């Protein structure tokens, strides 16, 4: 895995304002928001995507994302992770999007 901007953020090497942090993950606002609330939750320990993360890490970042969604979007939110180029992944460091603050379109 090559280093990414998310790796630098996770290590505290940028001036990114965090909305949450613990010893296993950090969360911050997306710089290209797709909804009024658009947070990213990333693990400190790098994994390319959800297929390569261990279950404890994956479970932890989804639990944190759900709590942040509930806090910032009490009327509802969406959690999304993109996997691979065709799945829309742009930064190859596992991350979960927390999207809310508006009515989301139904999928499918």
Residue 76 phi, psi dihedral angles, 5° rounding:
135, 155
Taking Cα atoms as reference points, which of 35, 107, 25 lies closest to residue 67? Answer: 25
Where do runs of H (alpha helix) occur along 1-108?
A: 5-10, 55-72
Q: Give the residues across from 37 on adjacent strands.
A: 100
CA distance 72 to 74: 6
Return the CATH architecture of domain 5-100: 2-Layer Sandwich (3.30)
pLDDT at 1 exceeding the cut of 70: no
CB 92 within 8 A of CB 2: yes
Asked whether 71 and 27 are in contact (CB, 8 A), the reply is no
pTM of the model: 0.95
71/107: higher pLDDT: 71
Residues identified as active-site: 95
């Amino acid at each position: 895995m090559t280093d990414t901007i998310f790796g630098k953020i996770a290590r505290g090497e940028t001036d990114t304002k965090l909305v949450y942090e613990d010893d296993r993950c950090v969360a911050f606002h997306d710089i290209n928001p797709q909804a009024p609330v658009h947070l990213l939750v990333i693990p400190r320990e790098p994994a390319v995507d959800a297929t390569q993360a261990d279950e404890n890490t994956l479970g932890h970042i989804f639990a944190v994302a759900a709590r942040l969604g509930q806090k910032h979007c009490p009327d509802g939110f969406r959690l999304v992770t993109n996997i691979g180029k065709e799945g829309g992944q742009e930064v190859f460091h596992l991350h979960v999007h927390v999207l809310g603050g508006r009515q989301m379109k139904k999928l499918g």
